Amino acid sequence: MVKAAMWFCGAFFGMSLAALAADGDSCGGNYWPGTLPEHQVDSIDVSSLQSFLDKAPVFDGIKFEVTRKGGELWLDIVSYPGDLTALASIRTLFVIGRVVKPDYSKLVLADKHEGEFEISYRDLHSLGCQFVWGVEGRGQNPIALNRDLTDALRYYPAGERVAPPFTGSLLGDTNVMLTTLNQIVYPQWLLKTLEVR
């Protein structure tokens, strides 16, 4: 009886550790473990993304339209709560990068079915693997993630950088990130034809 109980405990904990280890496999060295079921990496099929965006509380009532175009995943913000900061739209990208399975080559930030910006799956997944939401003190520093996101963003479909080249200066690159988001990304993606409620 004791042997059976010990075997069960060993098997249970072994499976739990294996499941945790497998959760971040696609992240490599960029993996920051989460603590909630919704933090599981590669847990949402592309075909289920619209439903996930419609229902998950992390999106704070932002309404999206997701379209699959070949290997590209297009994301359009349809309506936005008026009391929500613009930065919440960027949080969405990190969540997608973490939980959506690698069945797309790039995410295109679109407005009224017109592509504005793009980020490759590889870059977005690397950032998403480091992002943990809803738990204090977990995950990579959000300012660092926003810098890296801004550095990786490209104009669609030309593929040219959105932000000026980063110099490696923490203060300077953070200023470039803020300027790029506030003067280019938010006006062209979030605010261009958005219905604010």
Altogether, the residues listed in the chain come to a count of: 197
Predicted TM-score (pTM) of the model is: 0.86
Distance CA 76, CA 88 (A): 14
Establish if 176 belongs to a structural domain: yes
Structure tokens at 13: 């904990």
Establish if 14 belongs to a structural domain: no
Enclosing H/E stretch for 119: strand 114-120
Distance CA 87, CA 38 (A): 20
Establish if 1 belongs to a structural domain: no
Establish if 134 belongs to a structural domain: yes
Establish if 100 belongs to a structural domain: yes
Work out the angle between the directed axes of helices 170-180 and 142-152 (0-180°, nearest 10).
70
| Residue carrying structure tokens 């993304």 | 49
Establish if 174 belongs to a structural domain: yes
pLDDT at 82: 87
pLDDT at 193: 60
pLDDT at 113: 87
Q: What is the pLDDT of residues 11-41, one digit of tens each?
A: 434 434 334 444 689 999 999 999 999 999 9
Domain assignment of residue 93, given as a range: 37-196
Establish if 16 belongs to a structural domain: no
Residues of the chain with pLDDT below 70 are 1-23, 193-197
Establish if 140 belongs to a structural domain: yes
Domain total of the chain: 1
